[in-house]
Structure 1
Amino acid sequence: MTMDDQAAAALFGNSFAIEEVPSRTFPDDGMSATDAMRLVAEDLAIEGDPGRNLATFVTTWMEPQAQRVIADNLHRNFIDHAEYPRTAEIEQRCIRMLADLFHAPGETTGARTQGSSEAIMLGALSLKWKWKERQQAAGRPIDRPNLVFGADVHVVWDKFCRYFDVEPRIVPLQPGKYTIGPEDVEPHLDENTIGVAAVLGTTFTGHKDDIVGINDLLLTIKSTRGLDIPMHVDGASGGFVWPFLYPHSEWDFRLEQVRSINVSGHKFGLVYPGIGWLVFRETADLAKDLVFEENYLGKTDATFTLNFSTGSSMVLAQYYNFVRYGRAGYGYIMRNMQKNAQVLAERLRDLGRFDLIGADQEQLPLVAFQLSGDNAFDEFDLAWQLSAERGWMVPAYTLPPDAQDVTIMRALVKQTLSREHVDTLARDIADACQTLDRKGGAHESERAQMVTGPGH
């Protein structure tokens, strides 16, 4: 007696083992929970190893206890404060803790967001609305707002300007100069400038703009020209790094013109995606017209976000990390990452093939480097060889204008990259270079398979 295929699949295997999985049309029939779980798991099994992905800034590991907090609270809708008032309180605790970490001078406010992109949109919107208030009070027009930032920013700043009708005044980079300072910003400022955006820990090289110098410039303009131009610090990556690695470096609310800061909890805040934070210097820096009230979830609540319903798990996971690690724990983790980044930099320097970029400056825990001298291959070839040969994702990319002819690579050293991994990576880079020497570079068809870019 033989079983039919359906019965055999239920007993010995899975129903999709020899069939095309649903991908184009909504399936007519379902499958068992076990089969559905296996289908998704087996589909994802061929993706990359997050432990070898040195391109992404996003957290890929959390403690089992944190994962339990996340799993136990997946059902909670963060926006429903009537049903989940303690979750709302925990959000406010996190905002107050961040305000303290960033040296806010007094009572402040902020919001959790889906990530730094939403936080930046909200912070920039508040810059625009506060500028409109100043313009109207001075009897000036409000039809031509502009925002000044460097080409070293994340693409979300360009998105904001396009979405919300603000003129972007972008300071170009230069070969050998990959951040901006006051001398770059000053020519672009006028009465229509809603603010200046400065970066703490750029995606491209991990450095910071000259935030102190830009603040001093804005103070001078305020005293001499009567223009109160605020600064927003994009601390998406650096906001959880600088307070622990460079505590005496001033970039935050210790500087008078810094009025708002965003930071990604799902980067060096050590939380899974997606969680971001926006913190204002004081409550008056949030434009009141951007806050809405609603009462259709059981009580009257104020809301200041671009989306509405969203999960609570990552807010609770962020609070878990804050109370779990504290300043001592975050400092320990950041110093370990920095030490391993320094070891990797030394290994690359010893190979005699690479120039390091800004390794002697304040920097995120990463290594930015480029090939030196004459080689039969370039950085894109090396990135491909590392991926194909050993599974490492070490991105190669060109820099923004006017440094678009500069190609660099970047290895991000996160919490999960141990000293042994660093030594292995350095050996693999050396082996990949030798392979490419013999091959004379990667074949054009191999290069076409690459996914390039600075990562996020």
Structure 2
Amino acid sequence: MAALSDQADRAMRDGARFLTRDAPDHEIPDDPMPPVEAMRLIEEELILDGIPERNLATFVTTWMPPEAQQIIAGNLHRNFIDHAEYPQTAEIEQRCIRMLAKLFNAPGETTGARTQGSSEAIMLGALSLKWNWRKRREAAGKSVDRPNLVFGGDVHVVWEKFCRYFDVEPRIVPLHPEKYTIGPADVEPHVDENTIGVAAVLGTTFTGHADDIRGINDLLVTLKHDKGLDVPLHVDAASGGFVWPFLYPDSEWDFRLGQVRSINVSGHKFGLVYPGIGWLIFRERADLAEDLVFYENYLGKTDATFTLNFSTGSAMVLAQYFNLIRFGRAGYRHVMQIMQENTRLLAARLAETGQFIEVGADEEKLPLVAFRLAEPRSFDEFDIAWQVSAERGWMLPAYTMPPKADHVKMLRALVKLNLSHALVNTLAQDIAAACETLERKGGAHESERAKIRTNVGY
């Protein structure tokens, strides 16, 4: 018995050494650490992070059911790119692509790719725009040294990254106060023969609304007919691609519009999968520039690859397929309607306080509430974001809008599936309570304001 007791004492000491030592920081430790100690050290570190379920900033899925978690855990070791050894996994990817193409009303045979998220999908889609533009220009004997890409100030930063990384002139349409999306009149002055494409957003990260995609498409059709400028349209549906088909099925933004040649969507947002999984879908095979496809055979058979990454896990592809077959169209519609109902509840509760203005309440949008103070106060939106975090742990993003609306301050609350009716009511009460506290004390101290998380998420 004494020997067993000694072993238990040693095990307890070995599992608790991290409590009296600094976490390894600048270099790999010389000696190994018991697995339980390493696990507990990491768990203690993560206590300092926010609680994902209270993160109102992120569009990313923070909960999946146990069955999905089991699929994910059981396939983390499966390298997706190795199609020779895992052909059924590759087939499941193609099933997802076909299903999404059908959801987006592709007219016939199409193609696409899974990606780490919409950022990679956008890079690949925009590269294909550039390659196809260059091919058309070279065939016509024209210069290819001045490509440009047109998009609004409401896009995610990845569009500007693409232009900088791949030597394309960004032609950014500025926003204006009370006008936070773009339409055909905004786009037309920027399009010329060197335009590789126009990017439009379905569900912006700033307010959740959509650009006038149909209007932009009609403009591009007119330019094609009148001036011979065949400018393709890419739809950044990172957030909206799993929302609009179920909440606004009659709204035409997808391949029903002739100039829409490619669409990206994030499975890890309203596709309801953990990060990271994204999808790029082309209208037809010809829209994928063949020069961007590589063929290799060192994994056992000849495979075509069209990604910026190579080795990656299969788990999230399988999790996406799980969701598609588990929910079906009716299930996704039901989930989106629940989110929409709770979004309207939050908007109503905030309106009852008399302190806020909701942006674009009656327009088609993502399940979120973008709002700002109705009138100047002794505190601002950034103060509110800090106060609700300090008092109740909510991660509510405060941010300024893009130029030329950058003096407009905004708050935004994502209303995802895990934000129930009861939690919505609690959130609204907490925001109102934060305003009361700030009214008494006159805003947050500058040192506290500096801690506010101002990123708008993606």
Output the TM-score relative to the length of structure 2: 0.97
- Structure 2 counterpart of 1:379, from 367, 381, 395: 381
Cα distance, 1:13 vs. partner? 4.7
Task: Give the distance between the partners of 2:49 and 2:376, measured in 1 at CA.
Answer: 34
Deviates more, 1:34-43 or 1:311-320: 34-43
| C-alpha distance in 2 between matches for 1:11 and 1:116 | 46
- The alignment partner of 1:100 has SS state of helix
Give a deviation string over 1:99-128, Cα, whole Å, max 9, x none. 000000000000000000000000000000
Q: Report the counterpart of residue 73 of structure 1 in structure 2.
A: 75
Match of 1:179, SS? coil
Q: Look up the SS of the partner of 2:335 in the other structure.
A: helix
1:158 equivalent to 2:160? Answer yes
Structure 2 match to 1:298:
300
Using the alignment, how far apart are the partners of 1:444 and 1:20 within structure 2? 31
* Mapping of residues 61-100 of structure 1, within 5 Å: 61-100=63-102
Aligned to 2:345: 343
- Counterpart residue identity of residue 453, structure 2: V
Question: Is 1:433–2:432 an aligned residue pair?
Answer: no
Q: Which residue does 2:46 correspond to in 1?
A: 44
Once residues 201 and 300 of structure 1 are traced to their aligned partners in structure 2, the CA distance between those partners, rounded to angstroms, is 38
Task: Return the letter of the residue paired with 2:78.
Answer: R
CA distance in 2, matches of 1:46, 1:263: 31
Per-residue CA deviations over 1:132-151 (Å, capped at 9, x if unaligned) read 11111222111110000001
Q: 2:408: which partner in 1?
A: 406
1:60 aligns with 62
Q: Which runs of structure 2 are paired with 1:310-349 in the superposition (5 Å)?
A: 310-349=312-351
The answer to whether the Cα contact below 8 Å between 2:356 and 2:373 also exists between their aligned partners in 1 is yes
1:383-394 alignment runs, 5 A limit: 383-394=385-396
- Structure 1 stretch 10-19 or stretch 121-130: which is displaced more? 10-19
Please tell me the residue identity of whatever aligns with 2:57: A
Aligned to 1:170: 172
2 CA distance for matches of 1:294 and 1:373? 61
**Structure 1 counterpart of 2:117:** 115
Verify the 8 A CA contact 2:242 2:271 in the aligned structure 1.
Answer: yes
- Say whether 1:26 aligns with 2:28: yes
Mean Cα displacement is larger for which, 373-382 or 93-102? Answer: 373-382
Contact 1:57-1:268 at 8 Å conserved across structures: yes
2:213 and 2:301 map into 1 onto residues whose CA distance is 42
Which of 185, 196, 199 is the aligned partner of 1:197? 199
Provide the rounded CA distance (Å) in 1 between the counterparts of 2:403 and 2:267.
29
Is the 2:14–2:37 contact (alpha carbons within 8 Å) kept by the matching residues of 1? no
Aligned letter for 2:281? Answer: V
SS class of match (1:17): helix
SS of the aligned residue for 2:375 comes to: coil
Counterpart code for 1:204: F
User: Following TM superposition, by how much is the alpha carbon of 1:10 offset from its aligned partner in structure 2, in angstroms?
Assistant: 3.5
Supply the AA of the counterpart residue of 2:312: T
Letter in 2 for 1:47: D
Q: CA deviation at 1:46?
A: 2.4
- Deviations 1:411-453, CA, capped at 9 Å, x for gaps: 0000100000000001101100000000011112211222212
Name the amino acid aligned to 2:166. F
1:45, distance to aligned residue in structure 2 (A): 2.0
Map 1:200-349; keep pairs closer than 5 Å: 200-349=202-351
Q: Distance in 2 between matches of 1:31 and 1:145?
A: 54
Q: CA deviation at 1:374?
A: 3.0
Distance in 2 (CA, whole Å) between partners of 1:11 and 1:448 is 40
Number of aligned pairs?
455
CA distance, structure 1, for counterparts of residue 321 and residue 60 of structure 2:
18
Give the corresponding residue for 1:421.
423
Structure 2 residue matching 1:293: 3-state secondary structure: strand
The runs of 5 or more residues in structure 1 that have no matched partner are none
Quick check: 1:53–1:393 contact (8 Å CA) kept in 2? yes
Q: What TM-score results when the alignment is normalised by the length of structure 1?
A: 0.98
2:19 counterpart SS class: coil
Deviations 1:166-189 (A, max 9, x none): 000000000110000000000001
Q: Deviations over 1:343-386 (max 9, x none)?
A: 00000111000011001000000000000123110000000000
Aligned with residue 183 of structure 2, among 156, 161, 181? 181
How far apart in 1 are the matches of 2:155 and 2:8?
54
Residues 145 and 194 in structure 1, CA contact (< 8 A), matched pair in contact too: yes
Contact kept? 2:15, 2:36, Cα under 8 Å: no
* Cα displacement (A) at 1:35: 1.0
Name the amino acid aligned to 1:364: L
Partner SS, residue 149 of structure 2? strand
Tell me if the contact between 1:9 and 1:15 (Cα under 8 Å) persists in the aligned partners: no
3-state SS of 1:16 partner: helix
- Please tell me whether the aligned partners of residues 346 and 369 of structure 2 are also in contact (alpha carbons under 8 angstroms): yes
Distance 2:138 2:27 in 1: 54
For 1:18, give the aligned amino acid: T
Equivalent residue letter for 1:374: P
Report Cα offsets for 1:1-49 as digits up to 9, x if no partner.
9x99996464585121111111111110111111111111121122111
Contact 2:398 2:453 in 1 (8 A): no
Cα gap change, 1:68 to 1:6, in 2 (>3 Å): closer
> Which letter maps to 1:143?
D
Check the 8 A contact 1:6/1:15 in 2, yes or no. no
User: Are the aligned partners of 1:368 and 1:408 in contact in 2 as well (CA < 8 Å)?
Assistant: yes
1:195 counterpart SS class: strand
